[in-house]
Amino acid sequence: QVQLQESGPGLVKPSETLSLTCTVSGGSISSSTYYWGWIRQPPGKGLEWIASIHYSGNTYYNSSLKSRLAISVDTSKNQLSLKLNSVTAADTAVYYCARGTSAWYECRFDPWGQGTLVTVSS
């Protein structure tokens, strides 16, 4: 079955760029059926959808983060990536990648990665 695994630095300094990779195994990221999403959860807060991308390049961003955000897909490596620049302590969160059934309308996420904690601190 499809599995997702997030990876990246666990500590990022304020004002720097947070970079994460999600490796997909057991299935192709180039499937036309699915979108691939990033979701985060700050400590003590709820889940926040960040963005979703199709392997074709169609991308949907949460407007609250759009100006600082870039996501991409590397089909040769079966990976998706997230870059969030100018980070602050408010970006400290567990970051998840997940497979979505669509860009947003009627979208549900399954499966998810286990998540990776990123702390923004000097």
Partner 1 sequence: DIQMTQSPPSLSASVGDRVTITCRASQGISSWLAWYQRKPGKAPKLLIYAASSLQSGVPSRFSGSGYGTDFTLTISSLQPEDVATYYCQQANSFPLTFGGGTKVEI
For residue 90, the tally of other CB atoms under 10 A from its CB is: 9
Beta bridge partners of 80: 22, 73
Is 23 a binding residue for partner 1 by CB under 8 A? The answer is no
Counting residues that bind partner 1 (by CB under 8 A) gives 26
Is 46 a binding residue for partner 1 by CB under 8 A? The answer is yes
Nearest to 53 by CA among 76, 77, 29: 29
- Calpha distance 34→50 (Å, rounded): 16
**Of residues 70 and 107, the one with the C-beta less far from partner 1:** 107
Is 104 a binding residue for partner 1 by CB under 8 A? The answer is yes
CB of 69 to partner 1, least distance (A): 12
Contact stretch for partner 1 (CB under 8 A) within 17-25, 61-69, 71-79, 82-90 = 61-69
Contact stretch for partner 1 (CB under 8 A) within 13-21, 22-30, 41-49, 78-86 = 41-49
Is 48 a binding residue for partner 1 by CB under 8 A? The answer is yes
CB 80 within 8 A of CB 53: yes
CB 81 within 8 A of CB 71: yes
